[in-house]
Structure 1
Amino acid sequence: MKPPRIASIVIVALAALYFLLPLWATFHFSLTMVRGTWSFEAYRVVFADQRFTDTFLFSTVSALATILLGACLVVPTAYWVRLKLPRLRPLVEFITLLPLVIPPIVLVFGYLRLYNSSSWLPFTATVSGTNLLLVFGYTVLALPYMYRAVDTGLQAIDIRTLTEAAESLGAKRGAILWNVILPNVRPAILSGAFLTFAIVIGEFVLASLLNRPAFGPYLQNVGANRAYEPAALAVISFLVTWACMVLLQVVGGRGPGRPRSRLFSLPSRKRATP
């Protein structure tokens, strides 16, 4: 092999060891809960804990609600900005990057100041209202990733031509967005959805300060009071995150493709045989 190729293989191997050795050490430690033998006792204890099921289910439902709300907010916005307001793209991109600059603790303290029990909004003092505020906060945290994924998907297709063709056939703007644009950016939306899911599952600050039974505070609570179970939870969290990344790679690797809308599925004409 040529020297540059050998150097590349060495660099990749060192990087893999850098990431895999701590994970292997954590996995190995999680298997030593029973002295003198390797066992999955820590994993059995984790899965037998009702709080694990409750918190993971709560975070999963919150992640799905966040994905739905984020997609409904981002897709029309990104589409309209690219179609009608291209000069506002730098401003919109700057706004969507703010959650990466502003710490989540600032966001949650703003929530507590504005939407406490004495707020003029009646639903903020209820459990459902607090859950709704948590989903709003998750949507803000995932906004940079969802917007970048959708905007990249829109950049890969000619939305102006698709819109003009659909309008020439009599389609309304809502029908164009639902039947033409959305099918073409579906892989991009799914990419942002998997990133959003990974963020929500491990988020700690918002759920902790809003006193919600999410998976992130549960991880911190178990890690502060036990030894082997946190290692098992860390491995489980890595597996969930990696599963999202694999799905991201599978879905994101496919291009937007040609329009799959029925609006453009015209019957093919065959030559008449003499």
Structure 2
Amino acid sequence: MTKFLAWTAILLGCLYFALPMIGMAEFSLSMRRDAYSLDAYRVVLADPRFQATFLFSLAMALVTIVFGVLLVVPTAVWVQLKMPRLRPVVEFITLLPLVIPAIVIVFGYIRLYNTSGWLPLTGSVTGTNILLMFGYATLALPYMYRAVDTGLRTVDVATLTEAAQSLGAGWLRIMATVILPNVLGAVLSGAFLTLAIVIGEFTMAALLDRPAFGPYMQVLGANRAYEPAALAVIAFAITWVCMGLIGTIARLSKHKGA
């Protein structure tokens, strides 16, 4: 009886998430009357704004991933090796983006870094892009840090570091050739989560007036019917591809470790 109730709950949960997605996908195929077609997808993929905004968000995601790795990996290693007592404090700080709304963060950025502020980043396109990258890195920080910290806990970082130092390696070389290869699966997991966050983020990009994929989805949804559904399916597929890659990398890492 217990097993039946458990499977029933799982089935109901799957239906709760699957039925809306199936309905959205079916609607996206209904642009042509009395027949299913990929017309909505063709219109979206041929739209120059789709290509421009998607490439912009993809570039921002890559930059954010590089910045996040350079920030999180040394910090997590340093906390584990030198300051283990500060782990709860660091974990609390990295979890703050989950409880502070993105709109609060971006309004703070605009207030501090506008053209009349002490560091006028919003006065140029490059400065605004840098500010947006910092915002994305903040939103992705809980996921990136958790992924890297979990990976580091499966590795004897202290022994590896001491062995590398005994051979004359400096900290930069230790990070690049010893630590990073051993937690590459965890880093890639955090990277794919970051990519999914950046692709779908709307608030920061819209308020900073950047041509990102999230605002494009909102504008398209306000003016079209079938194309937004097709765009949502595409965005959902990208997210699930990222999640599938995370699972694949995790399994490969386990097999390699074994």
- TM-score, structure 2 normalization: 0.95
Aligned position for 1:243:
241
Pair 169,256 (structure 1): closer, same or farther in 2 beyond 3 Å: farther
Q: Choose the corresponding residue for 2:127, options 126, 129, 145.
A: 129
Q: Choose the corresponding residue for 1:148, options 129, 146, 149.
A: 146
What CA deviation, in whole Å up to 9, does each residue of 1:169-212 have, x standing for no partner?
Answer: 22222211111111000000000000000000000000000000
Pair 184,256 (structure 1): closer, same or farther in 2 beyond 3 Å: farther
Q: How do 1:33-182 residues align onto structure 2 when only pairs under 5 Å count?
A: 33-121=31-119, 123-182=121-180
* More displaced 10-residue stretch of structure 1: 27-36 or 80-89: 27-36
Matched, 1:193 2:206: no
Aligned position for 1:19:
17
Residue identity in the other structure for 1:181: I
Q: Residue 186 of structure 2 aligns to a residue in which SS? A: helix
The answer to whether the 8 A contact 1:153-1:256 is kept is no
Which structure has the larger Rg? Answer: 1
User: What's the offset of the Cα at 1:39?
Assistant: 1.0
- Runs of 5+ in structure 1 lacking a partner? 259-274
Q: Residue 132 of structure 1 aligns to a residue in which SS? A: helix
Distance in structure 1 (CA, Å) of the matches to 2:68 and 2:19: 36
Q: Residue 210 of structure 2 aligns to a residue in which SS? A: coil
Distance in structure 1 (CA, Å) of the matches to 2:156 and 2:14: 39
The answer to whether the 8 A contact 1:156-1:256 is kept is no
Q: Residue 254 of structure 2 aligns to a residue in which SS? A: coil
Matched, 1:230 2:216: no
- Runs of 5+ in structure 2 lacking a partner? none
Quick one: percent identity of the two aligned structures?
Answer: 62
Distance in structure 1 (CA, Å) of the matches to 2:234 and 2:227: 10
The answer to whether the 8 A contact 1:117-1:124 is kept is yes
What CA deviation, in whole Å up to 9, does each residue of 1:59-94 have, x standing for no partner?
Answer: 000000000000000000000010001111111111
The answer to whether the 8 A contact 1:186-1:256 is kept is no
What CA deviation, in whole Å up to 9, does each residue of 1:197-255 have, x standing for no partner?
Answer: 00000000000000000000011111111111111111111100000000011112323
Residue identity in the other structure for 1:110: G
Residue identity in the other structure for 1:231: A
Q: Residue 121 of structure 1 aligns to a residue in which SS? A: coil
Distance in structure 1 (CA, Å) of the matches to 2:232 and 2:49: 16
The answer to whether the 8 A contact 2:114-2:123 is kept is yes
